[in-house]
């Protein structure tokens, strides 16, 4: 095979990897919108992706020889067909998500077993076929290499290198450029264009290349020896190699899920946080694979014992570095600290680079250039990748801390090193053993957990865990109490959350009877709404452990939970509105911070407001809280415009704390009442609740401090109509180019 052809094939596989990661990033975000922003959705998407790759790799490796022999066509034609089908998935998957979402509405609350199982099945059905096609690309392309007698022992790693480089680029471009400039739908079209381009170029290359019958072949493609493949030099038994591939895939993908939660304190919950982890993972993997290819050319490939000894140490570096004393302490601040982020991301680089070196080497060694054996080995690795996220999400994280989970996941590398260390000199065994022991001792006795760090500042710390999040409640006095979800500050006991309830209820024409609270938080808004007496209040919260912390913040929580007018539902707010037949006089929304998170953008979008209008009674009021501040001018304007374009009547009030806005929207005019008129509409118990934490006991005066400073909406709107939030273009969530280039 001439160098030009090899470069073209490298480019095709680069583009294939690029498109695949575009799909993974965008489909994951779309799945959040359809099935809920919960960790199981991320885990299922990752696992189904890997399952499809495993099945496709296994089937493609076993079938390509027979397909080329019986059809007389080049393997490149079948590769083109696979890429063509993958491109069609860009148009099919969003529609399948929408259909699945409607079908799942009767499946109950989001924390119910029927919903979790059915949503996982719906996700699998939606993306599995296209992932199978992605899995076939490796063995199909290796079949083409075999046709030209250039398979060798390193053909898999050659393609793997191109694919990882493309995947890394796809992750970066999707998060930083494509979605912000094009939106989700058009980003998928870009990926589909890449697949279709690959298909066209592959068919052209197949036409100008000699066919399978003309190409020199060392061994028959369908009868090649399973144990003596050309170019195969085994240094470990097949079963041991299979075990290594399974274990490395399992632990790597499980760690990726755990890293996402463990690093949230520093990386925050923005879309860029997950992209940074994936980009770093793939970038380090690419560098490791590049070094492996260099060593392969020099015939100086490192031994498995040496690589596993380094992996046994590198696996624990993220645990060692993720010490709050080394990193930024301002977990309440929504902005990312660059130094802390680089330190934390740098801690996973050695581990990922070593895996990038080890994985293609193991598959090259096992396969010896045979597509069938390569497919089998790659499938074994991917099977581990399937199970890893599921075990991390459903077994490890609900029961133990992220730190403990990472420690358990690092143990397989220690075990493999112990098995393989017999081939090392005693000096190396002792040396690596001492370093490993030093790292583990430092983790055990010298490093600090996030919970322990908080306990040093305040002894009142309670940790709750579930399959969605780690929820920390801490603080003794009212002014000190905070709610942390995955290490990020959600809210404090502030009178703002009281106004979120009392303002729309007081402005409602006629006595309000029903109210919906989306996002429970500390439960202050829920508690304040119940002070109205005969108002039936339903609160929707995504994370079960958040509602269980209600009593930590409010001593009367037990009594309130017995109130027949109060109801708490565990569900995604948007999904609840879609499956709920009820209508409400008042709907209040307190999106989770930061405003750049997906959970916020899905509640700030015009698509959400279109949904909410159907659940409002006549004269109903929607109250949207937006914690805007300095540096968020365009985001504030986008949020206000999306609401203003959805409702004919919108009013905007600054908060009593001097930051953030109460946005009231309705399909009918909102009464023009002064503070005294609003206070007169409130029951006595509600007025007492409003001023509970205020030095001024006069409810009317307290209301006046807010409503007399009402904003004029025309001055808060950007003249550019594109400055608004939609599901397809979440303006607040993707903002990096806008910030960099003003």
- Give 383 or 218, the one with higher predicted confidence: 383
Q: Are strands 661-666 and 616-626 parallel, antiparallel or unpaired?
A: antiparallel
Could you please report the per-residue DSSP string of 643-673?
HHTT-SEEEEEE-TTSSSEEEEEESSPPP--
Residue 649 has pLDDT above 60, yes or no: yes
pLDDT at 329: 56
pLDDT at 600: 85
Q: Which one of 155-159, 450-454, 659-663 scores highest in mean pLDDT?
A: 659-663
Fold of the CATH domain 1-213: Growth Hormone; Chain: A; (1.20.1250)
d(CA 510, CA 245): 67
Residue 225 has pLDDT above 50, yes or no: no
pLDDT-based confidence at residue 328 (cuts at 50, 70, 90):
low
- Give 525 or 157, the one with higher predicted confidence: 525
As a residue count, the chain comes to 742
**Cα–Cα nearest to 593, from 493, 488, 518, 516:** 488
Report the phi/psi class of residue 231: left, alpha or beta, with left for phi > 0 and alpha for psi in -120 to 50: left
Beta bridge partners of 483: 473, 491
Residue 77 has pLDDT above 50, yes or no: yes
Residue 366 has pLDDT above 80, yes or no: yes
Residue 216 has pLDDT above 50, yes or no: no
Residue carrying structure tokens 């112990």: 418
d(CA 256, CA 43): 10
Average pLDDT over residues 364-369: 81
Q: Rounded to the nearest 10 degrees, what angle do helices 371-391 and 349-367 cross at?
A: 150
pLDDT at 550: 95
Domain edges within the chain: 1-213, 236-448, 497-741
Contact 6, 161 (CB under 8 A): no
Mean pLDDT, rounded, of the chain:
86
- pTM equals 0.82
Indicate the class that CATH gives domain 497-741.
alpha beta
pLDDT at 1: 62
Q: For 601-646, how does the pLDDT look when each residue is reduced to its tens digit (9 = 90+)?
A: 899 999 999 999 999 999 999 999 998 754 457 888 888 899 999 9
Beta bridge partners of 463: 472
Lowest mean pLDDT among 165-169, 252-256, 344-348, 633-637: 633-637
Average pLDDT over residues 716-734: 86
3-class SS of residue 320: helix
Report the phi/psi class of residue 510: left, alpha or beta, with left for phi > 0 and alpha for psi in -120 to 50: left
pLDDT at 282: 87
pLDDT at 400: 85
- Contacts with 234 (C-beta within 8 Å, 6 or more apart), sequence order: 241, 365, 366
Strand order of the β-sheet with 649-654 is 566-570, 536-541, 514-518, 584-589, 616-626, 661-666, 649-654
Lowest mean pLDDT among 133-137, 330-334, 386-390, 657-661: 330-334
On the CB side of 144, CA atoms within 13 Å amount to 28
**Which CATH number describes the domain made up of 236-448?**
1.20.1250
Contact 256, 389 (CB under 8 A): yes
- What b/e readout covers 49-84, taking b as 16+ CB neighbours within 10 angstroms? bbbbbbbbbbbbbbbbbebbeeeeebbbbbbbbbbb
Residue 230 has pLDDT above 50, yes or no: no
Residue 375 has pLDDT above 90, yes or no: no
pLDDT-based confidence at residue 521 (cuts at 50, 70, 90):
very high
DSSP label of 591: P
Residue 69 has pLDDT above 70, yes or no: yes
Q: Rounded to the nearest 10 degrees, what angle do helices 39-71 and 113-147 cross at?
A: 30
Residue 334 has pLDDT above 60, yes or no: no
- The phi, psi pair for 443, rounded to 5°, reads -65, -45
- The phi, psi pair for 336, rounded to 5°, reads -85, 135
Residue 235 has pLDDT above 70, yes or no: no
3-class SS of residue 349: helix
pLDDT-based confidence at residue 234 (cuts at 50, 70, 90):
low
**Cα–Cα nearest to 90, from 12, 168, 25:** 25
Q: For 139-164, how does the pLDDT look when each residue is reduced to its tens digit (9 = 90+)?
A: 888 888 877 755 455 567 788 888 88
pLDDT at 224: 36
Q: For 274-309, how does the pLDDT look when each residue is reduced to its tens digit (9 = 90+)?
A: 788 888 988 899 899 889 988 888 888 899 899 999
DSSP label of 595: T
pLDDT-based confidence at residue 330 (cuts at 50, 70, 90):
low
Q: Rounded to the nearest 10 degrees, what angle do helices 179-208 and 3-35 cross at?
A: 140
Percent pLDDT > 70 in the chain is: 92
Q: Do domains 1-213 and 236-448 have the same CATH topology?
A: yes
3-class SS of residue 514: strand
Residue 499 token pair = 């106004």
Percent pLDDT > 90 in the chain is: 42
pLDDT at 250: 93
């Amino acid at each position: 095979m001439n160098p030009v052809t090899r470069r073209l094939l490298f480019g095709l596989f680069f583009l294939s990897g690029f498109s695949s990661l575009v799909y993974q990033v965008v489909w994951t975000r779309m799945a959040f919108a359809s099935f809920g922003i919960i960790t199981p959705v991320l885990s299922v998407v990752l696992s189904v992706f890997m399952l499809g790759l495993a099945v496709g790799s296994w089937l493609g490796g076993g079938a390509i020889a027979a397909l080329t022999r019986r059809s007389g066509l080049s393997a490149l034609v079948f590769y083109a067909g696979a890429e063509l089908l993958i491109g069609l998935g860009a148009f099919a998957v969003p529609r399948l998500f929408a259909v699945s979402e409607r079908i799942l509405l009767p499946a109950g609350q989001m924390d119910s077993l029927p919903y979790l199982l059915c949503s996982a099945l719906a996700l699998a059905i939606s993306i599995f076929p296209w992932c199978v096609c992605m899995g076939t690309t490796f063995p199909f392309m290796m079949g083409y290499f075999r046709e030209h007698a250039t398979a060798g022992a390193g053909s898999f790693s050659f393609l793997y290198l191109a694919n990882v480089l493309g995947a890394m680029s796809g992750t970066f471009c999707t998060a930083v450029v494509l979605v912000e400039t094009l939106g989700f739908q058009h980003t998928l079209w870009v990926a589909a264009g890449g697949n279709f381009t690959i298909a066209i170029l592959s068919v052209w290359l197949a036409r100008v290349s000699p066919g399978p019958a003309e190409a020199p072949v060392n061994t028959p493609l369908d009868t090649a020896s399973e144990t003596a493949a050309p170019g195969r030099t085994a240094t470990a038994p097949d079963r041991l190699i299979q075990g290594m591939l399974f274990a490395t895939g399992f632990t790597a993908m499980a760690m990726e899920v755990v890293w996402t939660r463990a690093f949230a304190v520093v990386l925050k919950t923005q879309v860029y946080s997950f992209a940074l982890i994936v980009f770093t993972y793939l970038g380090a993997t690419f560098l490791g694979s590049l070094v492996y290819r260099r060593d392969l050319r020099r015939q100086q490939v490192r031994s498995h014992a040496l690589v596993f000894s380094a992996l046994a140490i590198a696996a624990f570096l993220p645990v060692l570095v993720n010490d709050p004393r080394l990193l930024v302490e301002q977990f309440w601040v929504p902005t990312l600290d660059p130094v802390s982020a680089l330190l934390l991301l740098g801690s996973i680089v050695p581990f990922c680079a070593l895996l990038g070196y080890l994985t293609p080497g193991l598959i090259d060694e096992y396969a010896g250039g045979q597509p069938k054996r390569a497919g089998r080995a790659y499938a074994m690795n991917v099977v581990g990748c399937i199970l890893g996220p599921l075990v991390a999400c459903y077994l490890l994280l609900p029961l133990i801390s992220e730190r403990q989970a990472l420690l358990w996941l690092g143990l397989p590398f220690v075990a493999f090193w112990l098995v393989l260390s017999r081939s090392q000199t005693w000096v190396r065994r002792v040396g690596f053993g001492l370093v490993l022991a030093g790292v583990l001792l430092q983790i055990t006795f010298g490093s600090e957990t996030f919970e322990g760090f908080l306990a040093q500042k305040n002894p009142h710390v309670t940790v709750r865990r579930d399959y969605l999040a780690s929820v920390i409640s801490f603080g003794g006095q009212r002014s000190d109490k905070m709610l942390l979800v995955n290490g990020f500050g959600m809210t404090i006991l502030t009178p703002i959350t009281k106004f979120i309830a009392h303002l729309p209820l007081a402005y409602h024409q006629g006595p309000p009877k029903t109210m919906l609270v989306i996002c429970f938080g500390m439960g202050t808004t829920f508690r304040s709404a119940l002070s109205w007496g005969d108002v039936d209040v339903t609160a929707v919260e995504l994370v079960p452990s958040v509602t269980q912390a209600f009593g930590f913040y409010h001593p009367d929580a037990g009594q309130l939970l017995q109130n027949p007018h109060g109801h708490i539902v565990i569900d995604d707010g948007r999904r609840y509105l879609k499956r709920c037949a009820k209508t409400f006089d008042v709907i209040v929304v307190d999106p989770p911070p930061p405003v750049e998170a997906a959970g916020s953008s899905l509640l700030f979008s015009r698509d959400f407001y279109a949904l909410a209008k159907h659940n409002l009674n006549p004269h109903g009021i929607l109250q949207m809280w937006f914690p805007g501040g300095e540096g968020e001018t365009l985001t504030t304007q986008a949020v206000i415009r999306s609401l203003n374009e959805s409702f004919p009547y919108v009013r905007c009030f600054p908060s009593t704390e001097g930051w953030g806005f109460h946005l009231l929207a309705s399909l009918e005019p909102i009464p023009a009442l002064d503070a005294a008129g609003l206070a007169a509409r409130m029951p006595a118990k509600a007025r007492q609740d409003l001023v509970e934490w205020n030095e001024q006991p006069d409810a009317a005066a307290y209301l006046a401090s807010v409503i007399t400073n009402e904003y004029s909406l025309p001055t808060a709107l950007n003249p550019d109509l594109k400055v608004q939030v939609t599901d397809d273009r979440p303006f607040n969530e993707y903002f990096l180019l806008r910030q960099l280039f003003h």
